[in-house]
Amino acid sequence: MYGSRAIVALLWLAAAGCSTLPHATHDVAAPTAPPIEPVVSVDEGEIAHPEAADLWSSIRSGLKFSSESDARIDAAANWFTQHPQLIATLEPDAQRYYAYVVAEVARRGMPMEIALLPIIESTLNPFALSRSGAAGIWQLMPDTASRYGVAIDWWYDGRRDPIDSTRAAPDHLQYLRDFFSGDWLLAMASYNCGEGCVARAQAKVARRDTTVAPSFWDLDLAAETESYVPRILALARIVMHPQEYGLDLPTIAPQPAFALADVDRQVDLGEISRLTAIDHEALFRLNPGLNRKATPPEGPHRLLVPTELAPEFADLMAHYALSDASWARYVVKRGDTLADIARSHQTTVAAIRSSNAMRTSTIHVGDALVLPEHGDRGIASNPLVASQTGPATMSYRVAAGDSLGSISRRFATSVETLTKLNPLEHNAALRVGDTLRVPAPPSRGAQNRTIRYRVKPGDSLWQIASRFNVTVQQIARWNGIEATSTLLPGSQLSLEI
């Protein structure tokens, strides 16, 4: 169940190995101005111990197995002290949604050791992918995810979504706890190797001694699983007493850094970024399950937005008519050109290149492209794609107190331009709720730039491609390597984004 990054990081193979362990459920369609609420739990509950100065204090108060003693725990704790970078790398992603994970574990009344499990599994990297196909911070396998209603398709992989995965993984762990009559250590062990392997190991011990029910410490399991539970308990020791181990825990706020927003149609993260102050990459890091950086065609949908920018997002939903475009998947066929594809899908070459982070118009047979589609209204209906007849425009819904003058200042244009676009008289009175055409702000992502990316332990071309919304084939071409190449940690790749 370990993500590939965590596999490399946790290879202390004296006594250990590495491990492996929809459609997402969305809320009812939102009204024109979707509600935006800070998130603690999708269902109910509050952050455990909100008076705590940081999240580690909340975790400490819920640890249940500090009395466990075994040489394997000692060995694991010693390994952590020799590799302090593992804990130090948690901060960027932990700040986004680890507080939500902790809150959900607390809401369910589970021991806080469960909240440490995704650190062991993936170092909280939502893009972690194991060699066996487990993905996300909880390293869910496809069949496990499917069992708990987590969607995995071309548009969306809920195993990487912090909400969906933090519903499914605790559900599975609670099932495993019940399977083993309330024994959490056996539940954690079976999360690693499956309940069948743990039950067989129990039966083997029971045949030798029928006087006592076998505990985790009595079982003869594979080295990978025998080391898995001790790692979690060792990390719990370190969280409880970091000074004793000479380690500093990164400061993590005790409240989630995102709010939930409902949207009633397919939306593109790049479009939202262009219209707000929400950084495109930051928005994607909050919604890592969106494989195409756009919600699936069928709604309604749920987006995570930064808490401090939630009011701005709500204003966008209330006053802007977002593009009616939707996105489709197209696999390049022999003889295709980008111009042909654009014509057949009523879009432009520029729009396709922007949607797929393409620096040139070169395409190859087998490439998968994301195409903006605009239904029967044609390309002119998409206000954020430049038409062939004029500059890009977008829709704006008039709010109370608006005038042509205030709207022109807001969009850095002139009253004359607004009257030509709509058309209107200079002294026209505006009614709340009217829709106007206004100049669209320039796209932040229209100009591709080349960046240097340093490969981290456990990185694969697929992970890097997903992270930067490009294809493996593109990365291979940009760097003169094979699409099947193994990456060396520390090496650098050129990425055109």
pLDDT digits (tens, 9 = 90+) for 359-374: 788 899 888 887 866 5
106 pLDDT above the threshold of 90: yes
pLDDT at 440: 65
Whether the Cβ atoms of residue 38 and residue 259 lie closer than 8 Å to each other = yes
If one compares 477 and 375, the residue with the highest pLDDT of the two is 477
Q: Determine which of 10-14, 41-45, 197-201, 211-215 has the lowest per-residue pLDDT on average.
A: 10-14
434 with 490, same domain: the answer is no
Q: Determine which of 386-400, 460-474, 483-497 has the lowest per-residue pLDDT on average.
A: 386-400
51 pLDDT above the threshold of 60: no
80-94, 182-196, 298-312: range with highest mean pLDDT: 182-196
Say if strands 492-496 and 450-454 run parallel, antiparallel, or are unpaired.
antiparallel
77 with 211, same domain: the answer is yes
pLDDT at 326: 60
- Residue finishing a domain among 226, 245, 264: 245
Q: Determine which of 19-28, 111-120, 339-348, 438-447 has the lowest per-residue pLDDT on average.
A: 19-28
353 with 490, same domain: the answer is no
Active site residues: 121
pLDDT at 357: 62
Cβ-based neighbours of 315, under 8 Å, separated by 6 or more: none
Average pLDDT of the chain, as a whole number: 77
8 with 113, same domain: the answer is yes
Residue 91 counted as domain residue = yes
Calculate the alpha carbon distances from 425 to 25, 361, 375 in Å: 47, 42, 32
Residue 153 counted as domain residue = yes
15 with 118, same domain: the answer is yes
Residue 320 counted as domain residue = no
315 pLDDT above the threshold of 80: no
Domain count across the chain: 3
pLDDT at 112: 98
47 pLDDT above the threshold of 70: no
206 with 237, same domain: the answer is yes
pLDDT at 175: 97
396 with 484, same domain: the answer is no
DSSP-based three-state secondary structure for 228: helix
3-state helix, strand, coil in the chain (%, to 5): 40, 10, 45
pLDDT at 391: 54
11 pLDDT above the threshold of 70: no
435 with 455, same domain: the answer is no
Cβ-based neighbours of 370, under 8 Å, separated by 6 or more: 292, 294, 327, 328, 329, 330, 355, 356
426 pLDDT above the threshold of 60: yes
If one compares 13 and 323, the residue with the highest pLDDT of the two is 323
pLDDT at 392: 61
- Residue finishing a domain among 245, 276, 299: 245
- CA 393 to mean position of chain CA atoms: 31
206: CATH: 1.10.530.10
224 with 334, same domain: the answer is no
465: CATH: 3.10.350.10
183 pLDDT above the threshold of 50: yes
Q: Tell me which residue range forms the domain holding 210.
A: 4-22+42-245
238 with 346, same domain: the answer is no
